[in-house]
Every structure is written in C-alpha cells, then in structure tokens.
C-alpha cells in the first residue's frame, strides 16, 4: 500500500497496532498547536478512528500537500495569516502526517471560533464564551476527500456582516497592492469653494476609496461634487459631515489602505467569536460606533444614537439579557464615582450635594445630615464614607427610564438628563453605562403594543419608582465593531476608542506561532 514512507508499515507483521498508536501519540504530543488540550484530543480522536493509520501518506500524500497549498490563499481571504499554517521545517518522517493534520486542524479552529480567545480587553465577550469546534470531524471530512472550500462554508461564520467584511478586505488589499491611495499634505483647512494644490490629491484619494466618481479627478477648486464626496467619507468614518477638511478628517483620509485592511481583519476575528445565531429578536449595541439597533423578526425595527463609556470607563463587550425597565429610577452613586469625583468636589464646595440633588442615605431623608451639613470633607481620606442616592426627578442622571441587564457588572441602559450630547459625533462620555437617545420609544417597543404612545404620559402622571416586566426577555449584545459594511456594500470605520483593535492585532500576530513543544528527538 506504500504507507511506509512515514515510518508506519501497515501490515501487521511490520508492527503492532499498539506500537503504531504509541508513535502517533508521541507525534501528537510534540506537534505545535494553538490549543494543546483541545487540539491534542481532536488529533487523537481522529487517528484512533482511523485505527492508527496515517492520513496524508502513500496514495494520499499529494492530497495533504494540496490542502496546505489551498489554505495559503483561503486563509488570507478570511483575514488569517497563512504563515500560521505552514509546516515546521526539519520535521522527521514520523511527525509529518500529524503535522499536516495539526496545520489543517488549526486552520479549521481559527476560522470557526477565532485564532485568539475572545477576551474583553480585545472586544470579546470573555474567554469563557469561545464556541465549540469539532476538529476530529473536520479532519475526517478532509481525509475522506470532501473539498476544503465546502468545509469552510460549513465552519466559517454565516453572518452576512462577516461575508461583507470579507469582500471589503479583498477590496482594501487590492487597493494597497496597487500602491494605496495618496496621502494629503498638511495645511490650512479646506472648505468648499477653496482653490488649492491639494485638491487634486484629495480627488484621487476619494476616487481610490469609492467616495468620488472616476470622472471627477481634475480641478484645483473644491467644488460641490467634491464636497458631497467628502461628506460621504465623513459619514463612513463617524465624523461630522460638514465637508470641511480639518485635522480629524485629514487624519482619517491619511490612514493607509493596508492599515484599513488590518482593521477589517481584526473585526472579522470578532465575528468568529459570535454565537451561531443572534436570534430573530435582539438588541445590538455597537460600542465603537455609539449606535444601537433593535432587531424584530430579523429586521431592524429601531435604531438610535447612544452614549458609551469614556476611555477611562469603557463599556464592556457582553452578551446579556434585558427583562425589565424601571420608571422614574433613583440613582445609587457607585463607590468609585463617590471616591474619585464627588469627594474632591465636596472639598471645594461643601454644598455640592444639595446643588446636585444628592442625598446621604445613611441619614433620614430631608435631615441636615443627609445633605452633608457639618461634615469636614477635607478631613476625610480617599474613601467616601457614606452611600449616596439621587432621587427621581428632572435632575436625575438616569433620566426617566432605566433598563436592567442581567449579570452585567452594574452596567445598564438608561435615559439621561443631558440630551445635548446626542448631537455630537463623538459620544464616548459616560462611566460605562449606555445612555439612550430615545428611551421612551424603546420602552414602548419593549413593553408591548398596549404601551404604544402612552409611556411618557404614564411616567409624568405617576412619579413613583416602578419596575415593569418587558413583554419578553430580550437578548442584548454589546459589541465592538470598528469596521463593518452596510447593506449597500459601503465600508464604515470608527476610531479604536478603547485600544481593543491594537491589542487584538498584537494577539493575532503572536498567535501565528504556537508555543514550542518538547522535541521528540526522533527522525
């Protein structure tokens, strides 16, 4: 049968089944894998199901090499690094079969559930939320001759968002391979009507990214068609669409195409962390875009702007549920805010609690002590010694509504008494909670048809604090997308406000080379 190439003579007289299995186990123990526990088990299960026979030798030797050659191109298209699946050099014959299987397995796992663990500081839901991948089944299908492309369709994310990003990655890489787009020199602000030597460069830059038509490359005057193209670019990047080329817009214009390709690739990795289905009814918050969508029966029923945590208080990515809403909520001030923000203000202004409608709940409501009267705030150390509460009312930081989230690290979604912030393009301004642009509309949708058009009136008529159960418990996904493609195929980008992209890029680079395993000493 020609299976002695790798040191395994299949006929029984050459070696016992037990010896064959021992050698395979030894090869598996030293094969470089990203997840030794899971991948080692998958490899053992795969070879045990084959009664210890090699998979990629003899008559099948060419198929193993062909599969690895296929992976090189396919991995690149999926935002993965082909170098991660190359065979180690200097491998002995005994290890070659297992090494091919390990490389195929690693590619399958990376594509199915991600190359790195979905840690929260990378924009994931937590390392423990990584999905399952049946590696032995994947290898078995390939060993039986089923096409690799067919298996990729089975294991890769089936979300249209992932597929659109994959197309966007191809376009971005094509632009980068062709030399990228031109960089626009620094200078004074450019506004419509200006004539400037940089305008032709701006035209070429916007033509390269598809924001401006090919036939509009000429001219030093910043005319109306160019202004509309700049506005389109600004909207795609979360900037104020004012057609002014200032510092922020210029910085986004000068991000190289290959950098955008890397940004797309890390967002594709986050798609691989997602559950197989979001469900037909759910709420999706894009933290980086500061935007929320309510999905009903698979279609977007409502969207709105939101405020998310600032850089010091990032809103965590999470998968949680919403089951109730509090009308006229009171705000119990978190200890961290009392220590770091309120105590320093009280040292400067002892009447700060009264002016901010805050109460010390350790004392009877309305008493002088509840307002902090008589307390020497300068004599208090770093820790605020009391519990603070802000009662319901027009000055309450939570506004009129608070939506409770399950197991969310004290993060919730709520109204706000400062509605001006929703007019800003940058809205990473909170202490971690998500403030809603139209909370009453969301409440009416979540509470069901009998509340349509009635919630605001009900809140105004009854100022008491009440908790209402939603019509149904709804899944809530708080995700960190800095790159996505809309239904029209248009790429959108946002700033990496928390640094998750940067850390994920580093983690993916490190994942290219699995941790060294002990050398077998065999050839």
| pLDDT of the residue at 14 | 47
Q: Binning pLDDT at 50, 70 and 90, where does residue 408 land?
A: confident
Q: What phi, psi does 91 have (nearest 5°)?
A: -75, 140
190-226: per-residue pLDDT in tens? 999 999 999 999 999 999 999 999 989 999 999 999 9
Average pLDDT on 399-420 reads 92
| pLDDT of the residue at 65 | 85
122-154: per-residue pLDDT in tens? 999 999 999 999 999 999 999 999 999 999 999
369/479: higher pLDDT: 479
Give percent of the chain with pLDDT exceeding 90: 75
| pLDDT of the residue at 59 | 74
Instruction: Report the alpha-carbon angle 463-468-474, nearest 5.
Output: 140
Q: Binning pLDDT at 50, 70 and 90, where does residue 12 land?
A: very low
228-275: per-residue pLDDT in tens? 999 999 999 999 999 999 999 999 999 999 999 999 999 999 999 999
Asked if the model's pLDDT at residue 521 lies above 70, the reply is: no
User: With the CA atoms of 58, 59, 61 and 65 taken in that order, what torsion angle do they form, in degrees rounded to the nearest 10?
Assistant: 180
Global pTM reads 0.90
Q: Binning pLDDT at 50, 70 and 90, where does residue 73 land?
A: confident
158-186: per-residue pLDDT in tens? 999 999 999 999 999 999 999 999 999 99
Q: Binning pLDDT at 50, 70 and 90, where does residue 441 land?
A: very high
Please list, in sequence order, all residues whose beta carbon lies within 8 angstroms of the beta carbon of residue 429, skipping any fewer than 6 positions away: 307, 308, 310, 421
Asked if the model's pLDDT at residue 10 lies above 90, the reply is: no
Q: Is 414 a catalytic residue?
A: yes
| pLDDT of the residue at 90 | 59
Ordered DSSP codes for 225-280 = HHHHHHHHHHHHTT---S--B-HHHHHHHTS-HHHHHHHHHHHHHHHHHS-S---S
Chain-centre distance of CA 492, in angstroms?
14
Q: Binning pLDDT at 50, 70 and 90, where does residue 7 land?
A: very low
| pLDDT of the residue at 323 | 94
| Domain ranges for the chain | 17-159, 181-255, 278-330+392-481, 338-382
Structural tokens at position 253? 């214009």
Long-range pairs for 338-346: beta carbons < 8 A, 24 or more residues apart = 338/384, 338/386, 338/388, 339/382, 339/383, 339/384, 342/384, 342/388, 343/377, 343/380, 343/382, 343/384, 346/372, 346/375, 346/377
- Residue 388 contacts residue 342 (beta carbons within 8 Å): yes
| pLDDT of the residue at 467 | 96
Q: Is 433 a catalytic residue?
A: yes
CATH H superfamily, domain 278-330+392-481: L,D-transpeptidase catalytic domain-like (2.40.440.10)
Average pLDDT on 324-341 reads 93
Nearest alpha carbon to residue 291 among 82, 482, 137, 57: 482
433/513: higher pLDDT: 433
Asked if the model's pLDDT at residue 514 lies above 70, the reply is: no
| pLDDT of the residue at 91 | 60
Is residue 80 classed as helix, strand or coil in its secondary structure?
Answer: coil
Q: Of residues 282, 414, 431, 500, which has the active-site annotation?
A: 414
HSE (side-chain half, CA atoms, 13 Å) at 184: 27
- Residue 32 contacts residue 517 (beta carbons within 8 Å): yes
Q: How far is Cα 475 from Cα 279, in angstroms, rounded to an integer? A: 8
Q: How far is Cα 358 from Cα 316, in angstroms, rounded to an integer? A: 27
34-44: per-residue pLDDT in tens? 778 888 899 99
Burial (CB count <10 Å: 0-12, 13-18, 19+), residue 161:
middle
Q: Binning pLDDT at 50, 70 and 90, where does residue 450 land?
A: very high
Q: How far is Cα 252 from Cα 244, in angstroms, rounded to an integer? A: 13
| pLDDT of the residue at 13 | 42
Q: Binning pLDDT at 50, 70 and 90, where does residue 87 land?
A: confident
Q: What is the average pLDDT score of the chain?
A: 90
Please list, in sequence order, all residues whose beta carbon lies within 8 angstroms of the beta carbon of residue 501, skipping any fewer than 6 positions away: 123, 263, 266, 267, 482
3-class secondary structure for 386-423? CCEEECCCCCCCCCCEEEEECCCCCCCEECCCCHHHHH
320-329: per-residue pLDDT in tens? 999 999 999 9
| pLDDT of the residue at 518 | 47
Q: Of residues 237, 282, 431, 433, which has the active-site annotation?
A: 433
Domain spanning 181-255: CATH 1.10.101.10: yes
| pLDDT of the residue at 522 | 38
Average pLDDT on 406-430 reads 92
512/45: higher pLDDT: 45
User: With the CA atoms of 412, 415, 419 and 423 taken in that order, what torsion angle do they form, in degrees rounded to the nearest 10?
Assistant: 50
| pLDDT of the residue at 1 | 38
463-513: per-residue pLDDT in tens? 899 999 999 999 999 999 999 999 888 999 999 999 999 999 999 999 876
| pLDDT of the residue at 16 | 60
């Amino acid at each position: 049968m020609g299976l002695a190439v790798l040191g395994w003579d299949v006929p029984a007289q050459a070696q016992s089944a037990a010896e064959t299995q021992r050698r395979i186990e030894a090869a598996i123990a030293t094969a470089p894998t990203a997840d030794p526990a899971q991948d080692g088990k998958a490899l053992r299960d795969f070879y045990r199901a084959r009664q210890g026979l090699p998979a990629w030798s003899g008559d099948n030797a060419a198929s193993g090499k062909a599969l690895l050659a296929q992976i090189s191109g396919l991995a690149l298209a999926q935002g993965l690094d082909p170098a991660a699946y190359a065979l180690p050099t200097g491998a002995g014959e005994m290890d070659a079969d297992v090494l091919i299987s390990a490389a195929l397995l690693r590619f399958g796992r990376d594509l199915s559930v991600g190359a790195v663990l979905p840690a929260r500081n990378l924009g994931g839901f937590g390392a423990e939320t990584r999905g399952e991948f049946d590696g032995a089944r994947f290898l078995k299908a390939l060993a039986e001759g089923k096409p690799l492309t067919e298996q990729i369709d089975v294991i890769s994310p089936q979300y249209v968002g992932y597929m659109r990003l994959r197309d966007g990655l191809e376009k971005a890489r094509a632009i980068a391979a062709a030399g990228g787009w031109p960089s626009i020199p620094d200078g004074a602000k450019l506004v419509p009507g200006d004539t400037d030597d940089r305008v032709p460069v701006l035209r070429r830059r916007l033509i390269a990214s598809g924001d401006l038509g090919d036939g509009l490359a000429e001219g030093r005057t910043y005319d109306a068609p160019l202004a509309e193209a700049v506005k389109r670019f600004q909207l795609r990047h979360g900037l104020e669409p004012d057609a002014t080329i200032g510092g922020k817009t210029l910085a986004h214009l000068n991000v190289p195409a290959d950098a955008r390709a890397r940004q797309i690739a890390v967002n594709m990795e986050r798609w691989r962390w997602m559950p197989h289905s979001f469900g037909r009814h759910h709420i999706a918050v894009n933290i980086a875009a500061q935007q929320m969508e309510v999905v009903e029966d698979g279609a977007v029923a409502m969207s709105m702007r939101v405020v998310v945590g600032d850089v010091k208080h990032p809103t965590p990515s999470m998968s949680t549920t919403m089951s109730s809403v509090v009308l006229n909520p009171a705000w119990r001030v978190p200890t961290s805010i009392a220590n770091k923000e309120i105590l320093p203000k009280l040292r400067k202004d002892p009447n700060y609690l009264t002016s901010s409608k805050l109460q010390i709940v350790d004392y009877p409501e309305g008493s002088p002590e509840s307002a902090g009267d008589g307390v020497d705030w300068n004599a208090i150390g770093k820790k605020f010694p009391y519990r603070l509460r802000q009662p319901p009312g027009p000055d309450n930081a939570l506004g009129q509504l608070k939506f409770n989230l399950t197991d969310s690290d004290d993060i919730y979604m709520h109204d706000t008494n400062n509605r001006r912030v929703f007019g800003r393009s940058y809205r990473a301004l909170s202490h971690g909670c998500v403030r809603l642009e139209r909370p009453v509309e969301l409440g009416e949708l979540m509470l069901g048809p009998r509340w349509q058009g009635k919630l605001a009136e009900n809140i105004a008529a009854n100022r008491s604090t009440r908790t209402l159960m939603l019509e149904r418990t709804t899944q809530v996904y708080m995700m960190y997308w800095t790159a996505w493609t809309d239904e029209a195929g248009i790429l959108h980008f946002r700033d990496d406000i928390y640094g998750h992209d940067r850390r994920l890029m580093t983690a993916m680079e490190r994942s290219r080379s699995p941790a060294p395993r002990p050398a077998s000493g065999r050839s």
